[in-house]
Structure 1
């Protein structure tokens, strides 16, 4: 009985404190923007991302440099980007030549050009160690 009460108390404490065994990470990266125009994607496979996802205009998706994958930004990780509303999902990988870089999918070429390149802070959660 005493063990059951102790376990119930721990469960309640975990629920109240929001402990979900994740840790928030933040990192400053260089961010650029891209669209699904054939000039900016693989010829003949417009919208086909590196993990096999089919990207569509209007999706809140990003591509990440491969060093960021090692930092926990793996396929389907949800990310917030400083200066942009909502949550973006990691659905693509960038060329190996890039480091500390994300590429944000935008529906409109002019919006992508207006964004240009910016240094931003991104945040995501990873399982606690």
Structure 2
């Protein structure tokens, strides 16, 4: 019984969701130099980001909560599963940034929202 409890609390890195959820602030970002440091198409771990990819950047405190590189994340209200491929500046907490390729209009339309994420 104890083993099952511990197993259900672990953070999955193999592609499955592990049952964690959290309400965070969600904004959106694009592959444009004005919004990123360095190459706007490369994430913090060196992943090449391309329009159409379901990717998020996470604040550093979320990394400590188990949202590591390539963790699969569901965002309530959005279809599909997103992968953690980028990190945000250290000044942010309990925040994600949803990657929207080069579609600046879509990112502005998204704005800033509270969402529940599951991983």
The bucket for the TM-score relative to the shorter chain is 0.7 to 0.9
TM-score normalised by L of structure 1: 0.77
1:28 partnered with 2:28 = no
3-state SS of paired residue (1:69):
helix
Residue ranges of structure 1 left out of the alignment (5+ in a row): 1-20, 125-129
2:105 to 104, 107, 110: 110
Q: CA RMSD in A?
A: 1.0
Runs of 4 or more consecutive aligned structure 1 residues displaced over 3 Å after TM superposition: none
Residue ranges of structure 2 left out of the alignment (5+ in a row): 1-6, 9-17
What CA distance in whole angstroms lies between the structure 1 residues aligned with 2:71 and 2:53?
14
Aligned to 2:42: 48
2:93 to 88, 94, 99: 99
Between the two proteins, the alignment pairs up a number of residues equal to 103
What CA distance in whole angstroms lies between the structure 1 residues aligned with 2:82 and 2:116?
13
TM-score normalised by L of structure 2: 0.83
Aligned to 2:15: none
Aligned to 1:119: 114
What CA distance in whole angstroms lies between the structure 2 residues aligned with 1:37 and 1:88?
20
